[in-house]
C-alpha cells in the first residue's frame, strides 16, 4: 500500500470507466464534471493506475489542488450532504446559511 500524502483527502471523483472523463460518485448516477484547478502535471494517471481524485497538494496559502491517485489508497474523506434550511436556527443566524 502506498500513500499519496498524509494530508490527502478523498472527494469522490474518479475516471474509472473512461480515462480523463471524471465523474462524481454518489447515491445517484455518476455526474460528469470539468475542473481546472488540478495541481500542475495532474491528472497524470501514473503507472496507468490513478483513477480517483483527491485534495492532494497543499498550496502556500493553505488551499488544496487536485491530483489523481490509486483508488486503493487510504485517506480521510469529505462527504456531501443536503442541508435542510427549514431546520436552521434562523433566530440565531437570520442572514446566513451555515453549511
- Smallest gap from Cβ 44 to Ca ion, in A, equals 4
Write the DSSP symbol of residue 95. Answer: T
- Smallest gap from Cβ 5 to Ca ion, in A, equals 11
Nearer to Ca ion, 49 or 83 (CB): 49
What is the rounded CA–CA span in Å between residue 64 and residue 5? Answer: 12
Nearer to Ca ion, 37 or 93 (CB): 37
Write the DSSP symbol of residue 69. Answer: E
Of 96, 94, 69, residue with least CA distance to 4: 69
Matching residue, cell 496507468: 48
Nearer to Ca ion, 13 or 67 (CB): 67
What is the rounded CA–CA span in Å between residue 22 and residue 74? Answer: 20
Q: Which three cell numbers stand for residue 47?
A: 503507472
Q: Which residues bind Ca ion (CB under 5 A)?
A: 44, 46, 50, 67-68
Nearer to Ca ion, 46 or 88 (CB): 46
- Smallest gap from Cβ 70 to Ca ion, in A, equals 9
- Smallest gap from Cβ 91 to Ca ion, in A, equals 47
Amino acid at each position: 500500500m502506498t500513500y499519496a500524502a498524509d494530508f490527502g483527502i478523498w472527494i469522490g471523483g474518479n475516471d474509472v470507466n473512461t480515462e480523463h472523463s471524471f465523474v462524481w460518485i454518489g447515491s445517484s448516477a455518476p455526474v460528469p464534471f470539468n475542473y481546472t484547478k488540478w495541481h500542475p502535471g495532474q491528472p497524470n494517471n501514473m503507472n496507468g493506475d490513478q483513477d480517483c481524485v483527491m485534495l492532494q497538494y497543499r498550496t502556500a496559502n493553505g488551499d488544496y489542488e487536485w491530483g489523481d491517485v490509486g483508488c486503493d489508497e487510504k485517506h480521510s474523506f469529505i462527504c456531501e450532504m443536503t442541508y435542510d434550511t427549514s431546520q436552521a436556527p434562523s433566530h440565531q443566524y437570520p442572514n446566513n446559511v451555515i453549511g
